[in-house]
Amino acid sequence: MSFTCIRVTFTPGEAIRDELVRRGIAHAALWGRGVDPHFFHPGRRDHSWRRWLAGGDDTVVVLHVGRLAHEKNLGVLIEAWRQARAALGQRATFVVAGEGPEAQRIEARLPFVRLLGFLPREDLATLYASADVCVFPSHTETCGLVALEAMAAGTAVIAADAGGFRESIQAGTTGLLVPAHEPRSYTEAIVALVNDHAARFALAAAARDSALRRDVARENSELLDRYAALAPVAHRRTSTCAA
């Protein structure tokens, strides 16, 4: 007895789906990779964390979260933060959460940065909400989940104008998108937001509203519906494969 294998390849973003289709994977489909806006929430903002990180309530906390690896474009982050520190002095503190092979390079090049290493998910949610600006320079993100987490936490986001960030962020409204390989563009965006509380607040509020529309619970329900739609095919003695 012969079987037909129907392959459904779910991708976390439209750009990756379109690329797979272009390469001949006709059954590529979007599973949008949402965020849990009830876990990543502005209500987790913790003033004791802010004092620990920044030393003063008026100091702006600039944060990067992610694996510290070459493909995350950290050379651009290092140069942008070096320039931003020179421009801002003590008005901002710079914090990195994550671990990886580039950690020593960051520590050597940016001795003023607070390196927190790997954090449990609960602490990470508190950190996002306690920060003021998150910076993500990676140009290889398929979804940009870190940006969605920061947005859900009510934090202003600056990200590379590339990959999945373009699908998560409405430029100038829910965050700032800058050229991926231009440190000066990140520096200018950081300095502008550090010096403009109203602009930070507006971006953060719009980002939170946007994240609420990307609730992962709804996306998971849609995924289960798609699996259920395949079930009758399987019952007709057709082998169904999902990847």
pLDDT of residue 240: 45
Most confident of 20-34, 48-62, 170-184: 170-184
d(CA 217, CA 44): 20
Query: 52-66, 92-106, 138-152, 213-227 — which is least confidently predicted?
Result: 213-227
d(CA 220, CA 208): 20
d(CA 83, CA 134): 16
Nearest Cα residue to 84 out of 195, 159, 187? 187
pLDDT in tens, 219-242: 878 778 877 877 765 555 444 444
pLDDT in tens, 163-185: 889 989 999 999 999 999 999 99
pTM for this prediction:
0.86
pLDDT of residue 4: 54
Q: How confident is the model at residue 18 (pLDDT cuts 50, 70, 90)?
A: confident
Topology of 42-212 in CATH? Rossmann fold (3.40.50)
6 pLDDT exceeds 70? no
Question: Residue 27, Cβ neighbours under 10 Å: how many?
Answer: 14
Burial class (CB in 10 A: 0-12, 13-18, 19+), 103: middle
Secondary structure of residue 95 in the 3-state scheme: strand
Domain ranges of the chain: 6-34+216-242, 42-212
d(CA 88, CA 107): 19
